[in-house]
């Protein structure tokens, strides 16, 4: 399925869109996913700037019979256009406003992608844990089990996203109140989930 024009990658995000969707202290409904691709060259990861951007989930439209598509799956829809060489090793990094879910099949499809594309490694940094899904722990454990590096975004990742994906017009990243406190609490939750894998 091709991503519609609203979810196709755009080079830079509006600053307000970034802060309102990535702020780890508030709940929002939309999921944004910023991504970058690197290629392994003589033991060093080299950024491929042409393979960098952001997408967001597609909202459902029951009038048209469209049930929506989560951001992770929109990214997987983009992968063929990246034309990644099977003879090369790549690292894809996601900075995502919500961790992937289980109930909609996101984690399962990402796991299948990683199993079918052993030349691609995935690092995933989430601003929040998607605990609206009753099986969210299984989703995180599944991704870790598939070889993905799963972490919570900290100040460094938020600043990197601001500098890389946001049309900040020269303004410096200003962290919101309690950013680090929320990151530490979420990191603790994530570690507890991942340490209980298989139990």
Q: For residue 4, is pLDDT > 80?
A: no
35 contacts 54 by C-beta, under 8 angstroms: yes
| 180 labelled catalytic | no
Domain 15-195 is found in CATH 3.90.950.20: no
8-state DSSP, 64: G
3-state secondary structure of 138: helix
Catalytic residue among 72, 116, 138, 181: 72
Instruction: Tell me the pLDDT band of 1, cut-offs 50, 70 and 90.
Output: very low
Residues with Cβ within 8 Å of residue 72, at least 6 apart in sequence: 33, 94, 96, 100, 106, 109, 110
Sign of CA dihedral 59, 123, 9, 186: positive
- Per-residue pLDDT of 114-152, as tens digits, reads 999 999 999 999 999 998 888 999 999 999 999 999 999
The pTM assigned to this predicted structure is 0.88
DSSP per residue, 82-137: H---TTS-EEEEEEESS---STTSHHHHHHHHHHH-TTEEEEEEESS--TTSTTHH
Task: Please state, in angstroms and rounded to a whole number, the distance separating the CA atoms of residues 76 and 84.
Answer: 13
Q: Would you kindly state where each structural domain of the chain is located, as residue ranges?
A: 15-195
What is the pLDDT, as a whole number, of residue 197?
A: 63
- Per-residue pLDDT of 148-171, as tens digits, reads 999 999 999 999 999 999 999 999
What is the pLDDT, as a whole number, of residue 66?
A: 41
Task: Please state, in angstroms and rounded to a whole number, the distance separating the CA atoms of residues 119 and 121.
Answer: 7
Task: Please state, in angstroms and rounded to a whole number, the distance separating the CA atoms of residues 16 and 165.
Answer: 12
Distances (CA, A) of 31 to 27, 54, 84: 11, 11, 25
């Amino acid at each position: 399925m091709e991503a519609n024009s609203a979810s196709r990658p755009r080079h830079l995000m509006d600053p307000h869109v970034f802060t309102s969707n990535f702020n780890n202290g508030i709940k929002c409904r939309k999921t944004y996913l910023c991504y970058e691709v690197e290629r392994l060259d003589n033991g060093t990861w080299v950024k491929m700037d042409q393979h960098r951007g952001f997408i967001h989930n597609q909202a459902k439209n029951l009038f048209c019979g469209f049930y929506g598509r989560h951001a992770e799956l929109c990214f997987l829809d983009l992968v063929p256009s990246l034309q990644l060489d099977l003879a090369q090793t790549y690292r894809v990094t996601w900075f995502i406003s919500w961790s992937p879910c289980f109930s909609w099949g996101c984690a399962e499809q990402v796991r299948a992608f990683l199993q079918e594309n052993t030349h691609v490694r995935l690092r995933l940094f989430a601003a929040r844990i998607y605990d609206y899904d009753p099986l969210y722990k299984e989703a995180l454990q599944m991704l870790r089990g598939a070889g993905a590096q799963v972490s919570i975004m900290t100040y460094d990742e938020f600043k990197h996203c601001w500098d890389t994906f946001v049309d900040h017009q020269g303004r410096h990243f200003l962290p919101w109140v309690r950013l680090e406190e929320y990151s530490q609490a979420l990191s603790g939750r994530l570690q507890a989930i991942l340490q209980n894998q298989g139990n």
